[in-house]
A and B are shown apart, each in its own frame.
Chain A
Amino acid sequence: MNTIRKENDNQKEVLLSVEHLRVNFKTDKAILNAVEDVSFKVYRGETLGIVGESGCGKSITCMSIMKLIQGNNVIYEDGKICFEDVNTLSLSDKALQEIRGKEIAYIFQEPMTALNPLYTIGNQMSEALRLHVKISKKEALKQCAHYLEKVKIPNPNEVLMRYPFSLSGGMRQRVMIAMALITNSKLIIADEPTTALDVTIQAQILDLMKELQGEFGCSYIFITHDLGVISEVSDRVAVMYGGRIVECADTDTMFEKAKHPYTIGLIASRPHGEMVEDRLPVIPGNVPSLNNKPQGCPFHPRCEAVMDQCRKSFPEAITYAPGHTVACWQYIKE
């Protein structure tokens, strides 16, 4: 089994590898484990989708790749995040500033608030560019207009002079994407880039991001809770629950042969063409809150196949098939 996996690794170059990442928040009362022992890899030129319910630690995982979550109450425990062989968690602020925006770009969830309302689009975009590339302001604006054109914004020169309030949500989202692309980043983390948009624009943006991937060869990490979007854009999918990755596989495997009960429930609760019943199947219960996570597997209170073992400890992730890992006691044989 191991040899097959290694071959797989060799074929594609690893761009980012996250190993045993733990992010804890210290509060007055307790230490909350927002992210527990998360490991995954992103290969060059691929799209990794991360799915999960709200509050399962998707965004925190991705923000900690860039060490964006900082503060006195944030603890990164012995995890490792290697971006091109550099552990970003151990980097100083200054070294991080070099990587942020240049090597790794982030598209934020909320297009309505992710642009500074006081500066024109051109001002903000050229600033992002000029932090990393030494060119004149005029040159930078030209480049900005070029990228705005790439994301299909009509009249890019005019939009550069506008303030964010005069753009629609879809346009702002495109500006955000153009801003992320402009420095030719190797990895672009897209944190629910389409949830704030209506479906037609969503489809446009997804197409656009795919197109640009073909053109620039960048990798994406795509965070979303929309399985439809995931099935469309990503090569591989990681499913998160309660701060852990419970299953990781390539997209087709995930949708056809999901193993983890949570993933199965998630896929089953999706509306599809041949629906017979009026109601969608649901997973009973709620996502556990951070301050009273159940012992053992965080999913066990909601799981139909719950066993004694599940209440005691969290299962190690095992390789079920090449490139398909799952963390569930059902598949661990003595």
Chain B
Amino acid sequence: MKEIEKTEYIKSKSKGERFFENWSLYKKNKAAVLGLIILMIFVLVAVFADWIIPYDAAIDQSSAERLQNPSSQHFFGTDRLGRDVFARIVHGSRRSLSLGVLTTFFSVLIGGFIGICCGYFGGKFDTIVMRLCDVAVSIPPLLFALAVVAALGANMTNLIIAITAISIPGYIRVVRSVILSIVEQEYIYAARMCGSRNGVIMFRHILPNAMGPILVQASMNVASMMLAAAGLSFIGMGVQAPTPEWGAMLNDAKDYMFKQPYLLIFPGSAIALSALSLNLVGDGLRDALDPRLRT
């Protein structure tokens, strides 16, 4: 009995230690910590948006309160239809963040799967997929997404499909290259020599070892996905009115650029700040998870 208690103590300690080690490396990078704080604020705002300000405030139009300057009643002023900009930014964070996260999630899932198959099985399948990726990468991504949305119709679902589609080739490449370096490791031969099936080797032995670089790529990518979504919404091909979305808000506001510049400043800085924080977090993760920087 004593023996068991002892062993369990060791197990939990080594897991905790690993987390602690990663965190202590991460927090050395002050910019990354700042990025994490900003990101956490955005996430909290998105989660508790309804508590901060009711959704009605973001879509209720009132011609009497058009184009107001920031005031105690409307923190960020009102837009051309008299909607509260602060409420639209708060609720827009839900769209923007979930767009970034969802599209990243799907492209990691799909691109990751194809990438693993490419790296693990190799051969003709690998060659064909890689050449297709080359073709896909040669098309300007935003243009490609635009074509997809134009073909399928402009709404949130199609926006996700379009943006996912443009980022899949990148993931296939990243995942494949990571997998290629792991497949040749001896413990993979050892696993095969133990009689493990291909599926077990791929998802139990290779994938967890490739997770570090994939996570880093994903966290960096959320930002560019958000920017792409905002960009598409800006040209009217993304989230449709009256749903609040940062890119669409910029589009709405562009006619008032000189008259009411804050209409652009607030959603613009929301996009810039969240993208910056995600990139900082991605940088920090890359440094913290890179085993070569360990001492």
Q: How far is the CB of A113 from chain B (nearest CB, A)?
A: 5
In-complex Cβ contact of B194 among A71, A110, A127, A161 (8 A):
A127
Instruction: Verify A106–B208 contact, CB threshold 8 A.
Output: no
State whether A106 touches B190 (Cβ < 8 A): yes
**Is A68 at the interface (CB under 8 A from chain B)?**
yes
| A/B pair count, beta carbons within 8 Å | 79
- Chain B interface residue number, banded: 20 to 34
Cα A88 to Cα B158 with chains together (Å): 51
Q: Say how far A14's CB is from chain B's closest CB, in angstroms.
A: 23
In chain A, residues 123-181, which have Cβ atoms closer than 8 Å to a Cβ of chain B?
127-128, 131-132, 157-158, 160-163, 166, 176, 179
Give the interface segment out of B5-13, B73-81, B170-178, B276-284: B5-13
- Which chain B residues in 1-43 approach chain A with CB under 8 Å? 3-4, 6-8, 10-11, 14
B208 cross-chain contacts in A, Cβ below 8 A: 118
> Is B197 touching A97 in the complex (CB atoms < 8 A)?
yes
| Cβ contact within 8 Å between B195 and A97 | yes
Q: How far is the CA of A34 from the CA of B159 in the complex (A)?
A: 53
Q: How far is the CA of A109 from the CA of B187 in the complex (A)?
A: 11
Contact check, A72 vs B197: say whether CB atoms are below 8 A apart: no
Q: Give the number of chain A interface residues (Cβ < 8 Å).
A: 37
A31-62 interface with B by 8 A CB criterion: none
Query: Are B192 and A100 in touch, CB under 8 angstroms?
Result: yes
Q: Which of B201-244 contact A (CB under 8 A)?
A: 205, 208-209
Q: Which secondary structure dominates chain B's binding surface?
A: helix
Is A98 in contact with B195, judged by CB distance below 8 angstroms?
Answer: yes
**Closest Cβ–Cβ distance, residue B119 to chain A (whole Å):** 13
Q: Which residues of A contact B7 (CB under 8 A)?
A: 157-158, 160-161
Interface string of A103-124 (1 = CB under 8 A from B): 0011011100111111010000
What residue of chain A has the Cβ atom nearest to residue B6's Cβ? A158
CB<8 Å pairs between A and B, sample of 16: A63-B189, A71-B123, A72-B122, A72-B123, A93-B198, A97-B196, A100-B193, A100-B195, A109-B186, A115-B187, A116-B191, A116-B205, A118-B209, A158-B7, A160-B7, A166-B14
Binding site for A on B (CB under 8 A): 3-4, 6-8, 10-11, 14, 122-124, 185-187, 189-198, 205, 208-209
